[in-house]
Every structure is written in structure tokens, then in C-alpha cells.
Amino acid sequence: MDEEIRLVHNGEAQRLTFPIPSGVAGHDPAYQPLLRYDPVLANQLLDRYGYRKGADGWRMQPDGKPLVISYTSRNEANGVLMAELWRKTYQRIGIRMDNPRMIFSDIQRAEMLCKIQTRTYEWLADYPDGDNFMQLFYGGNIGQNNNGCYQDPQFDAWYEASHGMPPGPQRDALYRKMARQLEVQAAVMPAFSRYRNMLAQPRVLGYKKHPILHQEWKYIDIKD
């Protein structure tokens, strides 16, 4: 993730370890993920569970079929660069990676039909609350905004309980359980929060960036 932030986003992002980013109700700055980047351990685990390497150096499934991960990316420069970073990561553990490249609208259509295995997905919040992020993994939202098509009865029960709670310690405790469930089931890996840089001339009046909305332009003016 650090390499992706540096190379793809020119350092204009911060590392994210919790599904709810900072500045949003429900974020847990003390959360420590279990998963870490460790190619040596990853190779050992693959060996242990029967994903052995063939004569060509690529890993196979336990039944002998090729092990191939599909990573879908957008077909502009950033998408190509992200795909190559992921390909390099998989190569370090002997896994082939296929890379379908599509325009954004085609990716969205494929996600709605649950036809994409993995991709890097960026979410712009509709409102600054943790519910707006945890809803992305609720089974009832498959075909809507649960683009990973993740469904787990325990997660869904926790989400439904949290959905009726106000922000506070009780809901935050559920969010921590939900985050850990997503992590151990490999449903998603939080990656980064992007920075947005705004530049305004001194004669622009009344400009103040809203943390969520992007239509603040109607509230500003130009000094004659």
C-alpha cells in the first residue's frame, strides 16, 4: 500500500487500516489489523495448504489446476500502473495474475452482476458517518453498492443492529467486530484515504471546502 500511495498517487494519500476513515463518526484510530505484508510468510502458508509450485514456478490449486487471480483495473494510466504493482506482488508468491481492463462504467456494470473477483475500489462518502462505509459490505446491498458481493450472516446481523444505533461507544464496538470479520474473511483490505488539493485565487470570496459535498461553488463569489 505504501508503494501504491507513493507511485500511483504521488504521495497524495494516507494509509488506512480501518474500513471507516478518519474524520468520520465511527473511525477507530487505535484499531490494529492482523494482516500484514509478508511475502515470506505468505509463501509458507501457500506451501502448507497445498498450493504447490509447478515446474514453471507458478502455483497450482490443491487439485492441480492453475491458480490465477483476476485483478480488474481501469484502462487509463493509473489503472495500468496499479495492476502492475499488484502483478509484482503476486509474482513474489508465485501466483499468476490476470488483468482485465475496462472503462469505469463497464466495471460498475460487472460489479453489479458480481462478475469481478478483485479490484481497487474508491468510495466517496455520501454523509460523514461510519454507516455509509459499513453498508458497502451488507448482504442486502448486493446489486446496489456492495460491489464486492460480500455476504455473511454474522456481519449482516451486526450491521442491522448498528444501523439503528446513534454514534457512540456501543455502535463503535460493533464496528470493530465488523472490521475484524471483514479482515479474517478477506472480504476487503482497507488501503488509503486520498487527499484532495484545492487552489483558489486571493480574489475568490467565501470559499470554504466542505468535507463531503462537492457543490460549494454556488456559495462563493469573485471580488471585482
Q: What is the pLDDT of residue 220?
A: 87
pLDDT tens by residue, 127-166: 889 999 999 999 999 999 999 999 999 999 999 999 989 9
Which residues neighbour 44 within 8 Å (Cβ) at sequence distance 6 or greater?
none
Residue/partner pairs of 25-29 with CB below 8 Å, 24 or more apart:
25/128, 25/129, 25/130, 25/167, 26/129, 26/130, 26/131, 26/133, 26/134, 26/167, 26/171, 26/172, 26/175, 27/130, 28/172, 28/175, 28/176, 28/179
| Single-letter residue type at 75 | N
In the chain, at which residue ranges do the beta strands (DSSP E only) sit?
Answer: 13-15, 68-70, 73-74, 96-98, 101-102, 192-194, 204-205, 221-222
pTM: 0.87
CA 71 to chain CA mean position, Å? 13
Q: Residue 175, SS3?
A: helix
Q: What is the pLDDT of residue 224?
A: 79
pLDDT tens by residue, 179-197: 999 999 999 999 999 988 8
Bridge partners (DSSP) of residue 55 are none
Q: What is the pLDDT of residue 215?
A: 77
Q: What is the pLDDT of residue 114?
A: 95
Residue 53 class from Cβ within 10 Å (0-12 exposed, 13-18 middle, 19+ buried)? middle
Q: Which residue numbers in the chain have pLDDT < 50?
A: none
